Structure 1
């Protein structure tokens, strides 16, 4: 597979339109999270790790509570309507973030924002196969979507950090609001007939059917050993990744006494590494189970994060790029494995369940990062890296008899 192979999916005009809608909203969302990180430092200073960890934990809590139901809804209701409604709701919420005056307001808006995020994402992923005429492009479309998510979800905050110097952290939220408007217009242009699923809401057994579908999606997710191992490795990655997302801003602005610009460059390095890995993962590991890629990626994350506290800023940039490579190597295989091993008609359920479970891992990682950032200041990255390494060894021992490791 060539590095440009995923771009072939853009030859599908309807997918290209959906992909552009998602790309624009992700770029705005990246700006929002850099704004939240800077607000956390504005409200808490050296206690920013506590505020940011709480905010990010609320984010994934919304995903955990609503993610599986969102996946079921994506299989049952008009996906176009879901995406437009959630985009409009998110537009109003992120615009409100520009005017928060207290931490509790920040927490409430973040939780609401990510309820709607939880409903948008499974609908978007479930739409991809409906808009692909050449089924050979399906894996390319998933790869491109995930690579873009990595690029704009991690590289985006770096760009936004530089932008914040000119505009201020609060004005960044206005850019995000505009992005959701543009995204909604692009989704609106996709023919509704292609994205409509049967509406079962009037059924008296809807609640029972919903629960059954959630259970089915989870069973399919854990029944397949390679998918199960990939999901466990995502827990490993979440422990290390949470350290980077929660404690980098406090380390750079508090410990190293640098500015928003340097924070932006650090997150940019992380995003560059993640993007390179997203586009090269299939080249580096062509095996059926992707286990080598998963293990190598987790090792890269553990080593890079462990050294974060003891190196100067320039070396930190290199380490964060390596960590970005590892983050993508641990996250990309799950999406491809689901696409290749789960029947098409059940993928909405499984993607929804995967969305919820993978974010449960981050709900574990964020509080750990917050606690180490507060009570183990100066060693938070070392502790996070060692914990990552320990979990990797544990899951490797657990899984080696189940799949070909």
Structure 2
């Protein structure tokens, strides 16, 4: 494949995969650590820890995108990997709940700075337009595979070791990621459309607010977060307390959701060649609404069976993939090249802002008010996000691609207030 013939991209992509799997193992181990320390209140602990994570992402990511051009990007990414490795290595020694919150804050602050830096580096390393869209697709496939395989690997590992050892594997993964970045030749940051740091931090947000299809994506972010928080936050307590499962059972239920994501990822490339991204993403929203209502039905009808729960979790995984997979290509097609880092950083922050709303609901309300009320509220948020996306992303805008022709210089995308000219939708969808 021509894309992987690019040496620097090959190293960076390998680093991304290793760091992703390390992060996946940390998420699994963190849930089990929370249950070990807090028992039935593990949802509250995990919800709070993940809320800290989202605060870091929402606040730090746009600032990192604004300031990253002032530092050697390769050195910056290596330093962040080393920081993450050190923090994760400390997690097995935690004895108090507050210590989890402090370490997670440090870990996610580093991750929030790393992600927009990595996203901004890729278009400078992969300069061909078609190769870049394939790079977007490869990154999404890597994320998809991580969501499936990390729980499976964790389940296998837990058959032989305690969950604390998963943190050690994560730490080693971050260090290996840093070693892979070390030999890369990452060019200096390209000049931004905005010279002042705060202007750059706000530019991506303005683009989302003023561009119809990006406003639709903001609404879809809420749908993903509402459904996904049920799986991420509540699986450990639901499986352990309601289904009476073991630690390994928790991990296998998470793998069921990841399996749904993988199933959708296998089908999407051909589907997106024939169907517009808007249609696919709104279908994903509908699937997530049905999935969250299915979760509510589990508690109302007391259908606490493994098979039914796995079906609902799988459906949620499918719906999330239908929304997340086309997002990168829609963002890429909506802005000029020098606005790409700011736009991706804005999506990073805005999507995590949605999780910042839903994580506390799933964690705190789920522990204190029960799953029925909590999941009903999350289902309502998913429905509201779906309706919002329908209204905010007009149908005549679904094929728009303002910057298809090699992303030549264009007016500030923040000034885009109406639908863009119609053009071949393949550019919007071929990256998925």
Worse overlay, 105-114 or 164-173: 164-173
1:66–1:154 CA distance, 2 compared to 1 (3 A): farther
Structure 1: segments with no counterpart, 5+ residues: 1-6, 201-205
The answer to whether 1:319 aligns with 2:306 is no
- 2:222–2:381 Cα contact (<8 Å) kept: no
How many residues end up aligned between the 2 structures? 391
Alignment of 1:23-102 (within 5 A): 23-102=17-96
- 2:215–2:389 Cα contact (<8 Å) kept: no
Worse overlay, 385-394 or 12-21: 385-394
State the secondary structure of the residue aligned to 2:164: coil
Alignment of 1:289-328 (within 5 A): 290-308=277-295, 309=298, 310-328=303-321
1:229–1:117 CA distance, 2 compared to 1 (3 A): same
Segments of 4+ in structure 1 off by > 6 A?
Answer: none
Report the TM-score, using the length of structure 1 for normalisation: 0.90
State the secondary structure of the residue aligned to 1:233: helix
**CA-based RMSD:** 2.3
What's the counterpart of residue 368 of structure 2? 375
The answer to whether 1:140 aligns with 2:134 is yes
CA distance in structure 2 between the aligned counterparts of 1:117 and 1:153, rounded to whole angstroms:
17
Given candidates 188, 193, 210, the residue that maps to 1:196 is 188
Given candidates 146, 157, 161, the residue that maps to 1:167 is 161
The answer to whether 1:332 aligns with 2:332 is no
User: What's the CA shift for 1:401?
Assistant: 7.4
Worse overlay, 229-238 or 73-82: 73-82
1:347–1:404 CA distance, 2 compared to 1 (3 A): closer
Worse overlay, 152-161 or 113-122: 152-161
1:283–1:148 CA distance, 2 compared to 1 (3 A): same
State the secondary structure of the residue aligned to 1:101: coil
- 2:190–2:338 Cα contact (<8 Å) kept: no
Report the TM-score, using the length of structure 2 for normalisation: 0.85
The answer to whether 1:215 aligns with 2:230 is no
User: What's the CA shift for 1:367?
Assistant: 1.0
What's the counterpart of residue 224 of structure 1? 211
User: What's the CA shift for 1:39?
Assistant: 1.0
User: What's the CA shift for 1:61?
Assistant: 0.4
CA distance in structure 2 between the aligned counterparts of 1:330 and 1:155, rounded to whole angstroms:
20
CA distance in structure 1 between the aligned counterparts of 2:209 and 2:275, rounded to whole angstroms:
17
State the secondary structure of the residue aligned to 1:24: helix
- 2:69–2:188 Cα contact (<8 Å) kept: no
CA distance in structure 1 between the aligned counterparts of 2:45 and 2:107, rounded to whole angstroms:
17
What's the counterpart of residue 123 of structure 1? 117
CA distance in structure 2 between the aligned counterparts of 1:15 and 1:139, rounded to whole angstroms:
13
CA deviations over 1:314-365 (Å, ceiling 9, x no partner): 2222221221111111122221111122212221111112111111110001
CA distance in structure 2 between the aligned counterparts of 1:29 and 1:292, rounded to whole angstroms:
31
State the secondary structure of the residue aligned to 1:182: helix
- 2:147–2:255 Cα contact (<8 Å) kept: no
- 2:25–2:170 Cα contact (<8 Å) kept: yes
The answer to whether 1:356 aligns with 2:343 is no
Worse overlay, 210-219 or 299-308: 299-308
What's the counterpart of residue 264 of structure 2? 277
What's the counterpart of residue 264 of structure 1? 251
Alignment of 1:96-115 (within 5 A): 96-115=90-109
- 2:213–2:394 Cα contact (<8 Å) kept: no
